[in-house]
Amino acid sequence: MANVLITGGAGYVGAVVSGAFLDAGHRVTVLDSLVDGGYGLLGYVPHERFRFLPGDVRDARAVGPALAGQDAIVHLAAVVGFGACNADPFRATSVNVDGTRCLLDARHPGQALLYASTGSVYGAVPGGLCHEGTEPAPLSVYGRTKLTAERMVLQTRDAVAFRFATAFGMSPRMRTDLLVNDFVYSAKRRGVIVVYERASRRTFIHVRDMARAFLFGLEHLAGMAGEVYNAGAERLNLTKDEIAHLILARHPFFLTYGPIGIDEDRRDYQVSYAKLQGLGYDTTVEIEQGIDELLRGVDLLPPP
């Protein structure tokens, strides 16, 4: 059993990671400033190995006590996605970069650090398969701030960074702005999906497989430390149109296309996951399973 601090643990990914670490027998402390509330953690409150600390990852007075006695840190707290970062670039830099620095400054020697980076650090990749050796060229504030923090993290000992694909699937703290979740929500609740950049090839990972990647990183820290790993699966590299048709095969809705937006991270790439798979990690939830789960789950969500 390890003592694990999860920053940003009240968020979409964090609410699932917290449950997975509790299920694996660990003692979990969540530090979160509750930007979007904390209801995703309510189910864990009765658990004797769960503790919540309200606080900002940029505040040394909150981070110091949260780090006391921890064996490992899963660092998720961030302003997430190009939209949220563009809405307040100063806050994005402050949380994503300065918050990470605050955590690193207060971290004790020997505390493992597992960092949630993102495929958005790659930017527009010209052709071919993108791997960890591909030079990152982030195009958005989100991608740039996450890359800066990733590099800071990897300059320290006992640290691993995962460049995650776009998450999908149900979480106790749901996000319906992520592509697959958004498409399923729109198909089921509005009866229509309008797809822009339909041929863009994206890459996905189920949120429970993100949690499994952190557990894998903790277990295999000695062999993984100091490096970055793409986390996802090549069979989950799919175009937006392919996702829409997988949903259409399960649930009727009106599928249409139009230039209603652009992806500022210009994500249109195929990503190689061979490095992490070579160590023995693979994802377990296929896109079809995730879509089926979302089709059942979106009925439970409040109106937007």
Ligand X SMILES: NC(=O)c1ccc[n+]([C@@H]2O[C@H](COP(=O)([O-])OP(=O)(O)OC[C@H]3O[C@@H](n4cnc5c(N)ncnc54)[C@H](O)[C@@H]3O)[C@@H](O)[C@H]2O)c1
Residues that bind ligand X (CB under 6 A): 7-8, 10-14, 32-36, 56-58, 76-78, 80, 95, 99, 116, 118, 146, 164, 166-167, 175, 178
Output the smallest distance, CB 80 to ligand X, in A.
4
Residue nearest to ligand X (CB): 11
Question: Which CA distances in Å does 15 have to 1, 210, 241, 247, 291?
Answer: 19, 11, 29, 26, 20
Burial class (CB in 10 A: 0-12, 13-18, 19+), 111: buried
Hey, is 150 helix, strand or coil? Answer: helix
Output the smallest distance, CB 31 to ligand X, in A.
6
- CB contact at 8 A, 45 and 86: no
Output the smallest distance, CB 229 to ligand X, in A.
13
Output the smallest distance, CB 97 to ligand X, in A.
11
Give the number of other Cβ atoms within 10 Å of residue 261's Cβ.
Answer: 11
Amino acid type, 287: I
Q: Which CB, 33 or 93, lies closer to ligand X?
A: 33
Output the smallest distance, CB 168 to ligand X, in A.
8
Q: Which CB, 182 or 255, lies closer to ligand X?
A: 182
Hey, is 300 helix, strand or coil? Answer: helix
Q: Which CB, 10 or 193, lies closer to ligand X?
A: 10
The bridge status of strand 129-130 relative to strand 270-271 is parallel
Give the number of other Cβ atoms within 10 Å of residue 137's Cβ.
Answer: 15
Q: Which CB, 56 or 263, lies closer to ligand X?
A: 56
Q: Which CB, 87 or 249, lies closer to ligand X?
A: 87
